[in-house]
Amino acid sequence: MLATYDLKAAGSQGHHEAVFAGVEYTEDPAFANLIIDSSAIRSGRTKTLYDADVATEDQHAKSLQFTRSLLTGVRANLLAWDPSLSGLTTV
């Protein structure tokens, strides 16, 4: 998605934060609070990586909703950049 704005994040320490900052830099309303919205989910991921039962049903639901919303926004940006990608689907 960053490529649609001619941005690129290198694969180094902190690259996730660089990607999120780059996406927020685009000022696309779909990603206005990406860093804030993803912080709790990303920190919870570490705790549940080895034991999925640690997460509550509510946390699972929030993670799925966040991911669906994120993918919908990414898809919209990719289609605006290259309409030939219209075969991309979201869940």
- What does pTM read for this prediction? 0.65
Q: What is the dihedral of CA 40, 46, 47, 50, to 10 degrees?
A: 150
Q: What does the pLDDT look like over 29-51, one tens digit per residue?
A: 888 888 788 877 777 665 655 56
Q: Can you give the residue range of the structural domain that contains 20?
A: 2-85
- Does some domain include residue 8? yes
Q: Domains in the chain: how many in total?
A: 1
Phi, psi of 87 (to 5 degrees): -75, -10
φ/ψ region of 6 (left if φ > 0, alpha if ψ in -120 to 50, else beta) reads left
* Residue 15: both structure tokens together: 């690259």
- Does some domain include residue 21? yes
| pLDDT band of 9, cuts 50, 70, 90 | confident
- Does some domain include residue 91? no
- Does some domain include residue 90? no
Instruction: In whole angstroms, give the CA distance from residue 64 to residue 59.
Output: 9
| pLDDT band of 63, cuts 50, 70, 90 | confident
